[in-house]
Each structure stands twice: as structure tokens, then as C-alpha cells.
Amino acid sequence: MTLTERFFDKLSSVMKNKELKDRIVFTLLMFLVARIGTHIPAPGVDIERLGQMTADNDILSYLNMFSGGAFKSISIFALGIVPYINASIVFSLLSVIIPRIEEIQKEGESGRSRIAQWTRYVTILIAIVQGFATCTFLRSQGLVTQTNLFSFHLTTITILTAGTIFLMWIGEQITISGVGNGVSLLIFLNVISGAPSGVLETIQKMQHSRFLIPVLILVALLMVAVVSLIVLFQLGQRKIPIHYVGKGYGRAGGVGDKSYIPLKLNSAGVMPVIFASVAMMLVSGVNRFLPTLVDRLYSSFGSDTISKIPTASAVKVWITRIFGNESMGYYLIFALIIIFFSFFYTAIVFDPEKVADNLKQGGGTIPGIRPGTETVEYLEGVVERITWGGAFFLAGLSILPPILFKAVGLPVFFQGTGIIIVVGVAIDTIEQINAHLVMRDYKGFL
């Protein structure tokens, strides 16, 4: 059976499964609602000037990508799902720092429901803060067309916060009644929605260059290679053999040679990239805020004091070199944050002690490794080694494309972070669809 035949065979199986088909249709309808919201602007903003400013500013372009183009028009979904991701990061970190939160998470469905409710409350608070920061930024840039600033702040913050809450609800509904993780799929939708306009904008910038066609072909080949690497890496596994009592390793002994623990090379999936991308928005905010703070501090001193210490302009240059979006310091910080979240999220999703305990209760052992503490230490060592590889792979793929494009003087055709998110979420969604199809087959046998 060829690849095309297998694809259409899977598609036919999906169409025959009513429950799965309904879930896919529901997910697509939620996508439509999310896209419609990005085109409903909040009042009182000069959208044309903001759109031009967003196109010329790397930080604003990054925010615009995660909002699916909603930020450049300050639509009701301008904040996107970012406040919810920030809240999730907060509780993920608190679960490590505060043992009580970790205990609540282990209480089962009731514990997870409590954490989810607290996450919603924190999302609202973060959305209000980010909405206020957005209003302050718009006012500082002279983009506010309303004369009553209090009314503008109140209206805009309310609209942006409500938009984030609605997106959070859409994400949860997709997770419950659709296919895949709702929040990840919304980010996936926002990233791919900006791809066509990004390609057209790049072509327009290079339309008078004689190297346009060769460069486009080279970029297309590079993208195919990158996507292939991501797919191979996301599906790659480290198989740890398992021996169960009473079962040999040979084919005559049963299933001993077929039993193993599949450890993904990238257990954390795309979450480290998503978390790190959101964290870098804070770093970009530092780059924008610190020079202004330096100016205010220096203006508060007298002329004698200023003559004895470095000038404010020199300090601003140093800050930009460290935190600027095109600096090596920025990319280094980005890579380090991805590596940190790779280990952090892997520690959350994989518990060596629980796996070792399940093996012990089921009569399974790893050949050459004693049950109990020795098994836990062995699993921890294996996971740590493969996580290093996964972390460096994600970090390298996230920062290398923009560095290479800028080094050769070309506009950035695609962001590594965007491709990782799109491919990773697509793979996870396909795996969930396959799981639904397998469940249907099992039901058929029963």
C-alpha cells in the first residue's frame, strides 16, 4: 500500500467514525470562532499606524504572531492565550516550590479541577495586568484616538480580558469535545494563520532581486529538511527492555523480547518552546523598559554626579546588546530558557519512581538492574541523558534559522519556534486521532 493509499484509507476510517468526525467538526468550528474574533477591533486606537509599527518592530511582530495577527489591530483577542500560558507556568513552578500544590495535583480528578480553577483566576489577573500594559504602551506611542483616557483604559482592559477568557474557554472546550490539546491547537492556529502573509511580505521585499527564485527554492528545501528532522525527533524513542517473571527472552518464551518501556527522545514535546517564547516576551519588555528607567534615574541626579558615572546612552547601548532581539545575548538567553523548561517539563510528565513501582508490582524488571531504588536511579539516568539531547535539539532549532538568515543578509523567512510548535502540535493531534481509531477497532472486536 502506497503512502497516498494509506492516507485515503485513514481518511475513510475517520469519516466512518461518527464520534471522531463530530469532534473534528467541532474543533474546526472553534477555529472559525477564534479567527473571527481576531478581526473585531477594540475602539479608540489608530490601527493603521499600529499595524505599520508592528511590521517594523521585532518584539511587536513576535507578539502579533502568538495572537494570530490580532495584536496589530488590537482586536478582542489581542492578548491571545498568553495570559493562560503564564498562569500555567506559575502553577507548574509553584508545584515544585510548594509541596502542598503538588499533593493537590496528585489527588486525582478533584485535585486537578482545583488547580485548573485557580489557574483560571490567575489568568484573569494576568490578563488585566497585560491589558493595562498594552493601554500604557498605546498611549505612550500616541496611538490612542479617544480623549477620555480613563474610559479608554477601562473599556480596552475589559475587552482584552474578556477576549482572553473567551479564548481560554474555547481551548478547554476543544480539549473536552474536540481533538487534541485546545491551548496548543489555538497557538498552532495563530502561528499558521500568519504564514501566508509572511511569505507574501518577504516576496515583496525581494521582488527586485535576481536571487529571489533560488532563495525561495533553497528555503523550501531547508524547511522540508527541518520539518523532517522534527518529525523524526518527535517520534524517536529509547526502548528499555523489560523482563517479566516466568517469561523468557526468546521467541519460544512468549513476549519477553517484545516488552519494553518507550521513552520519547523529547518527552516534553513543544511545551518548552511555548513556555520559553512567552518568557522571552518578558525579556523583550525588560529591553524596552530598562533604558527608559535609566533615563529617569539619570535625570534625577545633578550634573556633577552624571559627570562621574557612565552616560545614560552608554548604559542603554549595553542593555540593547545584551537583551536586544537581534543580539547573541538574546538568543543565548532564549536557548538557556528552552533547556531549563525541557528538563522541568520532563520532570513533570515522567515520574521514575512511579514507573519503577508499577514494574515491581507487575513482576517486571530491567535486565541487569535490581527492582526498587536501583531501577529508579537507572531510569533517572537514562531520562537525563536523552533530555539533554532533546533540549539542545529544541534550543538549536529555535535560534539557528533567524541567526543564519540574518548572517547572510536575508529576511527571516521562518522562525524555528513556529515550525517546532506547528509540527509538534500536528503530531500530537494525529496521535490522538489514531488513538480514537484504535478504540473504534477494539470496540468492533468486542
Residue 224: CATH number of its domain: 1.10.3370.10
In a domain, 318, yes or no: no
Give pTM, 2 decimals.
Answer: 0.76
- Could you tell me the residue range of the domain that residue 120 belongs to? 18-192
CB-CB contact of 397 with 418 (8 Å): no
Distance separating alpha carbons of residues 204 and 217, to the nearest angstrom: 16
Residue 308 lies in a domain: no
**Residue 59 domain-assigned (yes or no):** yes
243-267: b (≥16 Cβ within 10 Å) or e: beeebeeeeeeeebeebebebbbbb
User: Do 178 and 152 belong to one domain?
Assistant: yes
Alpha helices in 178-211 (DSSP H): 182-193, 195-205
Q: Is residue 92 part of a domain?
A: yes
> Would you state the pLDDT for residue 188?
87
Residue 244: phi and psi, rounded to 5, are -100, 145
335 shares its domain with 253: yes
Residues 238 and 356 in one domain: yes
Judged on CB neighbours under 10 Å (0-12, 13-18, 19+), 199 is middle
C-alpha span between 276 and 66 (Å, rounded): 13
Report the candidate in 373, 376, 378, 362 with the shortest Cα–Cα distance to residue 245. 362
Mean pLDDT by 10 residues, the chain (446 residues): 70 80 91 90 85 73 76 87 86 80 78 88 92 86 84 92 93 90 88 75 69 76 84 85 65 54 83 81 62 57 49 58 66 88 86 85 83 88 90 87 72 70 85 77 44
Is residue 269 located within the same domain as residue 397?
Answer: yes
Residue 1 lies in a domain: no
C-alpha distances in Å from residue 426, one per residue of 155, 227, 419: 37, 11, 10
Residues 6+ apart with CB under 8 A from 254: 247, 248
The candidate with the shortest Cα–Cα distance to 75, out of 30, 133, 122, 34, is 34
**Is residue 248 domain-shared with residue 106, that is, in the same domain?**
no
Report d(CA 44, CA 156) in Å as an integer: 9
Q: 415 by DSSP, 3-state: which?
A: coil
Contact 65, 418 (CB under 8 A): yes
Question: Are β-strands 243-244 and 364-365 bridged in parallel, bridged antiparallel, or unpaired?
Answer: antiparallel
185 in the same domain as 48: yes
* Structural domain count of the chain: 2
Last residue of a domain, one of 162, 192, 222: 192
Residue 375 domain-assigned? yes
Same domain, 180 and 80: yes
73 and 139 within one domain: yes
170 and 218 assigned to the same domain: no
Same domain, 109 and 177: yes
Assess whether 102 and 223 both reside in one domain.
no
Do 249 and 274 belong to one domain? yes
Looking at the DSSP bridge assignments, the partners of residue 263 are 238
Residue 251 lies in a domain: yes
Confidence (pLDDT) at 169: 93
Domain boundary among 192, 226, 241: 192
> Is 9 within the bounds of a domain?
no
Residue that is last in its domain, among 192, 218, 237: 192
